[in-house]
Amino acid sequence: MADLDIMPYKASGGQACRVVDAPLDGSASFLRGEPVIIDAGGAVNESGNDPDFGTEGSALFGIAAVSAQGIADSRGDGTIANSALEPVQVYMIDLDVEFITRNLFDSGATATYTAANIGDECNLELVSGSWGIDTTPTHANFIITGLLDADGKDAVLNSSTIVAARFKRMHLVAT
């Protein structure tokens, strides 16, 4: 698990990514920037690998805006269990919001993306403790919309080294 693996990039029209509060599962251990679900108990918990939007009790809900441990630490007790059902903020995966990740995978291995990857279908994957996108998913829920350099600028347009990818939800129904 790594902090800030996936974060909002921008929403069309310049508005901010929508953030909602949802109850925290007392056993949760996710970090900020990791995919989260609403579990069978109705609380936020870390997603399983290769999530989709349609599986009840484990459907992808959003990206954690804060870590579960951060909620516990803000109460001064340092334990997540004491924070069960406390509200936790989640970035919503709306159709008009792009996200960014530096963790680029292909078939579960670290990959170097090129301009040819723009438009590729992908999904969120957990590989060696890091969340990112993989272009060979079981569930294709996202599409790569751009590639960025170390300065956060368009790497293809600037012919610079690609270090991150922008992506967004491609439709409402999981495939």
Both tokens assigned to 147: 């590639």
Q: How far apart are CA 32 and CA 64, in angstroms?
A: 5
Quote the pLDDT of residue 75: 53
Q: How far apart are CA 40 and CA 34, in angstroms?
A: 19
Query: Which residue from 160, 37, 14 is spatially nearest to 90, judged by alpha carbons?
Result: 37
Find all residues with CB under 8 Å of 74, minimum gap 6, and list them.
none
Find all residues with CB under 8 Å of 15, minimum gap 6, and list them.
none
26-45 burial, b at 16+ Cβ within 10 Å, e below that, comes to: bebebbbbbbbbbbeeebbb
Indicate the length of the chain as a whole number: 175
Quote the pLDDT of residue 71: 61
- Please name the residue that has the structure tokens 């530096």: 102
**Domain definitions of the chain by residue range:** 14-92, 97-169
SS3 74: helix
pLDDT digit string (tens) for the chain, length 175 residues: 567 899 999 766 677 889 999 888 878 888 899 999 988 888 899 998 888 888 877 889 999 998 886 665 555 555 555 556 678 899 999 888 999 999 999 999 999 999 999 999 999 999 999 999 999 988 789 999 999 999 999 999 999 999 999 999 987 554 4
